[in-house]
Amino acid sequence: MSADATTNGAILQARGMRRAFGGLVAVDVESFSVMRGSITALIGPNGAGKTTLFNVLTGFERADHGEWTFDDRDVSGWPAYRIARAGMVRTFQIPKALARMSVLENMKLAAQTQRGEGFFPALLRRLWCDEEARIEARGVELLEWVGLAKQRDDYAGTLSGGQRKLLELGRALMTNPRLVMLDEPTAGVNPALTEQLLDRIRSVRDEGATVLFVEHDMDVVGSISDRVICMAQGSVIAEGTAAEVVADPQVIDAYLGERHGEAAMPTSEGPT
């Protein structure tokens, strides 16, 4: 099944990814791909290796081996900042708001290829003044879009957990990414805000970017994802539409195994 998925429609393709900590194998993925222009959910029980996979793909953690391409470019082993610059931008499970910077500064930071970020050009305001104004306008626009316009001058450290998730989303979009990777975007977000957030995620896709997100809430997964990938014990065990994956016996066993406190790997028979 996964072989079919890795046709030219994939924006991210990975092969033979493995990452172990000591004796514990956190990620061991034969093949993994994300279709261009889709919203893909990555699900799986706790400890399935979803976040580690995120970390490895985005250069935050080293892979023991494996290679992956983004937009047909081999980005295996690239450092995190280069991967982000290539257009693959992630958020974090526990949002990393830059606490002692204002909300707007958080946004402005995320703009790419800023001239004023060079040491010497920074000293001459003339060189980056116009660029800064453009970035600020874009930042304000995105803040309105995520609903944080009123907080633009507050310290990001004063935001609530849900607001931080929104800020992170806005900040990620500020980079003009082609693939946004959201690690549990709805965790800790209150239901009203969740609806708004999902709305935003949909429109990100509609504007042409691809979304990959880790999620636990199956209602959320069912409501917005085009495709679902399920991991357990470090491996991809199922892939397809939400309905298909939820019905997959291996997936059910994986979640049941979690409930029993141990991983009972399935045989072929499954419940209806």
Residues 59-78: x/- map of binding to other proteins (CB under 8 A)? xxx-----------------
| H helix intervals, 58-128 | 80-86, 103-110, 119-122
Element (H, E) at 200: helix 191-206
DSSP state letter for 78? -
- Compute the distance between CA of residue 216 and CA of residue 170 in angstroms, rounded to an integer: 22
- For other proteins, the binding residue among 112, 216, 226, 244 (CB under 8 A) is 112
To other proteins, the closest distance from the beta carbon of 251 in angstroms equals 25
Q: Which stretch binds other proteins (CB under 8 A): 7-15, 41-49, 93-101, 212-220?
A: 93-101
Nearer Cβ to other proteins, position 11 or 84? 84
- Compute the distance between CA of residue 12 and CA of residue 210 in angstroms, rounded to an integer: 10
Residues from 7 through 26 that contact other proteins (CB under 8 A): 21-22
- Compute the distance between CA of residue 270 and CA of residue 253 in angstroms, rounded to an integer: 8
Planar angle of CA 101, 93, 105, nearest 5 degrees? 15
Element (H, E) at 223: helix 218-224
- For other proteins, the binding residue among 84, 209, 220, 242 (CB under 8 A) is 84
- For other proteins, the binding residue among 8, 46, 72, 123 (CB under 8 A) is 123
User: Which parts of this chain interact with other proteins (CB under 8 A)?
Assistant: 21-22, 51-52, 55, 58-61, 79-82, 84-85, 89-92, 96-101, 105, 108-110, 112, 114-119, 121-123, 125, 128, 132, 155, 157-158, 171-172, 175
